[in-house]
Amino acid sequence: MGSRFGLVVRAGQSLGQLIVAGHYDVVDQDLLSSEFVAWRSRASHGEARLVAPRGILTTNEALELLRKKRLRPPNLEELLTYGAAFPEATPRQTVVGLGWFWSCLGGVRHAACIINGRRRRRLILEPTDGVWVERDLFLAIRD
C-alpha cells in the first residue's frame, strides 16, 4: 500500500489525551492501567507509511521488512497520533505498531494495534509471538 501521511507528534500529551483523540470504541484495559498514568509524549515528526506484507510474517520478519525499506516502526505516541489524525485511512483493516512492546505477566510481548472494523474502532494489544497476515498493515516511519 503506497499511502503516505505527514505525522507530527506534539510533546507533553498524555496517553489518555491521545486515546480520546482517536475516538476508539474499545481500548485495551492494559493501556489504561496505572503503569501508564504519568506517560507523556515526546515531540517528533516524520513521514508515516503503511506497509502491507506479502503473505504471512512473524514479528521479526515484519521488522526486517521495514528495515530493508529504510523505515522504522512507530513508537506508541506515533501510532496513537496516526490513529487520531487519520481515523478513516484504513477501513476494515488492522494497523500494527511494532516500535513499542508491552509484556504481560507471562512475559509474552504485545504490540499496540488499531483495528478498524465495520462498526467499532478498537485500540488493543496483540501478542507478537504469532504471525501477521495480509490484512494487517504495519505503520512505519521515515524520519
Q: Is the pLDDT of residue 1 over 50?
A: no
Residues in the chain: 143
Q: Could you tell me the strand order of the sheet in which 4-9 lies?
A: 4-9, 44-51, 136-142, 94-103, 109-116, 121-127, 26-27
Beta-ladder partners of 112: 97, 125
What domains are defined for the chain?
4-142 (3.10.100)
Give the 3-state secondary structure of residue 82. helix
With contact defined as beta carbons under 8 Å apart, do 50 and 138 qualify?
A: yes
Quote the pLDDT of residue 36.
57
Bridge partners for 142 per DSSP: 47
Each residue's pLDDT tens digit, 54-83: 899 999 999 999 999 999 999 888 999 999
Q: Which residue has the higher pLDDT, 40 or 108?
A: 108
The residue assigned the cell 507530527 is 8
Of the chain, the percentage scoring pLDDT greater than 70 comes to 93
Would you say 9 and 37 are in contact if contact means Cβ atoms under 8 Å apart? no
Q: How far apart are CA 109 and CA 130, in angstroms?
A: 10
- Residue 27 belongs to what H/E stretch? strand 26-27
5, pLDDT greater than 90: no
The whole-number average pLDDT for the span 106-132 is 90
Least confident of 26-35, 80-89, 134-143: 26-35
What is residue 58's predicted lDDT score, i.e. its pLDDT?
95
Of 113, 140, 128, residue with least CA distance to 57: 128
pLDDT at 39 over 80: no
pLDDT on residue 8: 83
The residue among 27 and 101 whose pLDDT is bigger is 27
